[in-house]
């Protein structure tokens, strides 16, 4: 039985785009994002076959050029090399529905606990193939994450979707991306998290279809009264089990078993340092901007206004102590305090894309020259997540928190050095050592005991708005039976002495977060290890960690490309 609200949404869609009813029986809603809703539709083909399609209904406030660019990516690069193709497009007034072959898939969060090493290797291999392909066309996807790389575990099918944030390289072959390149992305606040809500409500007024820009005139105009679809070459899927209602049920039942993200975050709205039942690492990081392409005061103050954050952005080119913005003199520059002027500033809305946890360092530091390497970084984050069995691994709603989380794994000195290479200065209050990737992944997987206690960290400055507690949790979900996330401060894991990783999820976030991994039912440690070994987790070769290291190269200039990564020894048999 379909949920009542889904029925209503389907009715609304039929009303908004009536010609859909002539072609499709819309069965269910299969995806709901901030910028679109995706439905499952069944169509009777000319030859009598029934075929399934995914109907992506874009929010009416989407910019016509943006929509056209998304479509053009699909038409230019889609339909091969594990990139989703497009079958059709319907438009009525400001409503656009992109029709794609439906690919049944499993959410990574649902299967991460049971994936074998070989499945992970193949997943990354096919993701890299898709990336190599789109990068050849000069398309930067900008939102590479498991939700946008559909995976059917049973049929071993893969498809890269969602070009809603794509941008072009300087020499892109996608004409409309040349236009999008100069335009701040409307979908700029990250595709998950609270920022989206703000973005949506602030969406610029829609340009009526009749008065669209030159570029938008190339939007495909489907016949208003189309009744049949061109025969599709896509594979058909007979199963239609994907139900949002059952998804929701899963989310709720899985909640208690939720393996928390390795990195969580504190309530960002609170300026009070987190309660420390354990000695918690305190890191204060600042990002000093070397370039002059943005307003440093805005950047800094936006972060500061959100509470205790690990990273601050500041401009080294400006005089310390005083910064002038919009006629207001700020006195907190380069200090630990946040002045009232900064407190009352609006949160920054900058053209930026992607999901914080998957953003490359050059994106997080707002480096103006971003290329295809940013997608490769995101692929690296996915590989790290899959090898360590944690999803999401980086959970940050803010770029600055995300940067600190990266430093915790890749090292602060290394990050600072890489940032210097692309013109950004990052300052970190303490030295965060680079982690050995194998040790890290095996520890998170529960294959190794957590290392001994780390060097005690400097005490938190309780008055400091920039104090933060970047942490990793050590309770491997399969080894620790479900713990109620709300009991976090008394959690045995975080109280265990000598643990390097301590958990710090925000419990509230979990209840509403559909992107949090849940693993199979807890089993005993030995049980678990045997099963893990069966899945090949005892034989992960060094090449896997070597590739991971290359994907997660902090410097985009030296980071491996997707094409090079496919030549990596890890894939020599493929
Ligand atoms: P958004 O821009 O809102 O994120 P996406 O294009 O990523 O939209 O689609 C949202 C979700 O809808 C995807 O994560 C996926 O679960 C589902 N989806 C999208 N396209 C397809 C497709 N062709 N087949 C099956 N499911 C799809
Ligand atoms: Mg998406
Ligand atoms: Zn200030």
Residue 50 lies in domain = 1-114+161-184
pLDDT band at 339, cuts 50/70/90? confident
State the catalytic residue, choosing from 9, 28, 110, 143. Answer: 143
CA distances from 105 to 31, 192, 320, 327, 359 (A): 12, 20, 52, 53, 24
CA–centroid distance, residue 159 to ligand 1 (Å): 10
Same domain, 358 and 471: yes
pLDDT at 277 over 70: no
Same domain, 71 and 176: yes
Q: How many angstroms separate the CA atoms of 23 and 233, rounded?
A: 17
Same domain, 411 and 430: yes
Same domain, 429 and 484: yes
The ligand that comes nearest to the alpha carbon of residue 301 is: 3
- Catalytic residue flag (residue 110): no
CA–centroid distance, residue 460 to ligand 3 (Å): 21
Same domain, 365 and 405: yes
Same domain, 71 and 140: no
Domain-embedded: residue 472: yes
Same domain, 5 and 149: no
> Which residues have a beta carbon within 5 Å of ligand 3, which is an ion?
330, 332, 339, 342
CA–centroid distance, residue 192 to ligand 3 (Å): 28
Instruction: Tally the domains of the chain.
Output: 2
Domain-embedded: residue 324: no
**First-last CA distance in the chain:** 43
Ligand 1: nearest atom to the Cα of 147? 14
Same domain, 45 and 123: no
Q: How many angstroms separate the CA atoms of 530 and 538, rounded?
A: 9
Domain-embedded: residue 224: no
Average pLDDT, integer, range 412-438: 94
Nearest CA to ligand 1 atom 21: 54
Q: Which residue, chain included where needed, has tokens 């290394």?
A: 414
Nearest CA to ligand 1 atom 16: 31
Cβ 411 vs Cβ 432: under 8 Å:
yes
Domain-embedded: residue 298: no
The predicted pLDDT at position 430 comes to: 86
Same domain, 553 and 450: yes
Q: How many angstroms separate the CA atoms of 494 and 487, rounded?
A: 11
Average pLDDT, integer, range 305-309: 35
Give 26-82 pLDDT, tens digit per residue.
999 999 988 999 999 999 999 999 999 999 999 999 999 999 999 999 999 999 999
Same domain, 38 and 129: no
CA distances from 391 to 92, 263, 264, 347, 477 (A): 39, 10, 11, 28, 11
Same domain, 165 and 154: no
Cβ 156 vs Cβ 165: under 8 Å:
no
The predicted pLDDT at position 86 comes to: 97
Give 518-571 pLDDT, tens digit per residue.
334 445 667 778 888 999 999 999 999 999 999 999 999 999 999 999 999 999
The overall average pLDDT reported for the chain is 71
Same domain, 81 and 150: no
Q: What is the CATH number for 538?
A: 1.10.510.10
Where is mean pLDDT largest: 189-203, 346-360, 386-400, 444-458?
386-400
């Amino acid at each position: 039985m379909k949920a009542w609200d889904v029925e209503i949404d389907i009715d609304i869609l039929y009303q908004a785009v009536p010609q859909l009813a002539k072609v499709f029986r819309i069965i269910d809603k299969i995806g709901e994002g901030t910028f679109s809703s995706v439905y499952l539709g069944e169509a009777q083909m000319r030859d009598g076959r029934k075929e399934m399609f995914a109907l992506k209904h874009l929010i009416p406030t989407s910019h016509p050029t943006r929509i056209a660019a998304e479509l053009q990516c699909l038409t230019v690069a889609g339909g091969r090399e594990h990139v989703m193709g497009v079958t059709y497009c319907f438009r009525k007034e400001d409503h656009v529905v992109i029709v794609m072959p439906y690919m049944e898939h499993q959410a990574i969060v649902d299967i991460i606990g049971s994936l074998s090493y070989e499945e992970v290797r193949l997943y990354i291999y096919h993701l890299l193939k898709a990336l190599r392909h789109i990068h050849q066309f000069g398309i930067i996807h900008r939102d590479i994450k498991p939700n946008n790389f559909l995976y059917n575990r049973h049929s071993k099918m893969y498809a890269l979707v969602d070009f809603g944030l794509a941008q072009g390289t300087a020499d892109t072959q996608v004409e409309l991306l040349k236009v999008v390149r100069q335009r701040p992305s409307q979908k700029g606040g990250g595709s998950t998290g609270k920022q989206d809500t703000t973005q949506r409500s602030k969406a610029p007024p829609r340009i009526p279809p009749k008065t669209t820009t030159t570029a938008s005139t190339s939007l495909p105009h489907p016949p208003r009264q189309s009744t049949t679809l061109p025969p599709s070459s896509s594979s058909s899927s007979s199963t239609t089990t994907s139900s949002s209602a059952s998804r929701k049920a899963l989310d709720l039942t899985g909640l208690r078993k939720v393996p928390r993200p390795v990195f969580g975050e504190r309530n960002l709205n609170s300026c009070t340092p987190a309660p420390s039942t354990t000695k918690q690492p305190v890191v204060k990081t600042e990002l000093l901007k070397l370039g002059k392409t943005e307003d440093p005061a805005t950047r800094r103050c936006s972060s500061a206004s959100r509470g205790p954050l690990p990273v601050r952005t500041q401009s080294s080119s400006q005089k310390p102590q005083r910064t002038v913005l919009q006629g207001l003199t700020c006195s907190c520059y380069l200090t630990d305090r946040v002045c009232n002027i900064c407190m009352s500033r609006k949160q920054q809305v900058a053209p930026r894309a992607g999901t914080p946890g998957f953003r490359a360092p050059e994106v997080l530091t707002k480096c103006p020259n971003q290329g295809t390497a940013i997608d490769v970084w995101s692929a690296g984050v996915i590989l790290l997540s899959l090898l360590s069995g944690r999803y999401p691994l980086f959970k940050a709603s803010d770029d600055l928190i995300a940067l600190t989380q990266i430093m915790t794994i890749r090292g602060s000195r290394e990050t600072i050095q890489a940032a210097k290479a692309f013109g950004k200065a990052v300052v970190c209050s303490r030295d965060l050592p680079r982690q050995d990737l194998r040790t890290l992944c095996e520890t998170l997987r529960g294959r190794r005991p957590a290392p001994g206690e780390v060097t005690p960290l400097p005490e938190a400055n309780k008055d400091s708005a920039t104090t933060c507690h970047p942490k990793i949790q050590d309770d491997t979900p399969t080894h620790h039976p479900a713990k109620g996330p709300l009991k976090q401060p008394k959690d045995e894991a975080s109280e265990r002495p000598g643990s390097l990783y301590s958990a710090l999820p925000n419990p509230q976030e979990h209840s509403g977060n559909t992107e949090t991994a849940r693993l199979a039912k807890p089993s005993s440690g030995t049980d678990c290890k045997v099963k893990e070994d069966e899945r090949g987790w005892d034989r992960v070769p060094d090449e896997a960690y070597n590739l991971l290291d290359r994907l997660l190269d902090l410097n985009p200039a030296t980071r491996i490309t997707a094409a090079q990564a496919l030549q990596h020894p890890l894939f020599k048999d493929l």
